[in-house]
Amino acid sequence: MPRAVIRQITCICQNFLWTRDFTRSKSALVAWKTVCLPKTEGGLGVLDIQACDNGFIAKQLWNPPEAGSHMD
């Protein structure tokens, strides 16, 4: 996923979390990295889209297509 798309999605999530509105922005009360931590570690368990995208890319590199398969 392009980084610009990830930034836009994250921005929308942050705006909604702090203001309950997608279009308004407000200063964050807590760092986004802290918000994305699991609840057991003091976060809210919000999905970190950048980390997930990195994981998907790593999985694709780890499991390359087999020889003879078609990638249409």
Residue 11 has pLDDT above 60, yes or no: yes
Could you tell me if residue 53 is inside a domain?
yes
Could you tell me if residue 27 is inside a domain?
yes
Running DSSP on this structure, what letter comes out for residue 23?
S
**pLDDT tens digits, 14-31:** 888 888 887 777 787 888
| Number of structural domains in the chain | 1
Could you tell me if residue 10 is inside a domain?
yes
Neighbours of 35 (CB within 10 A): 19
Could you tell me if residue 41 is inside a domain?
yes
In angstroms, the first-to-last Cα distance of the chain is: 18
**pLDDT tens digits, 18-72:** 888 877 777 878 888 899 999 999 999 998 888 888 888 888 888 777 766 665 5
Could you tell me if residue 37 is inside a domain?
yes
Could you tell me if residue 50 is inside a domain?
yes
**Predicted model pTM:** 0.65
Could you tell me if residue 18 is inside a domain?
yes
Could you tell me if residue 67 is inside a domain?
no
Alpha carbon distance 62, 23 (integer Å): 38
Domain that holds residue 27: 3-62
For residue 34, the surrounding DSSP H or E stretch is: helix 32-35
Torsions phi, psi of 67, nearest 5? -60, 135
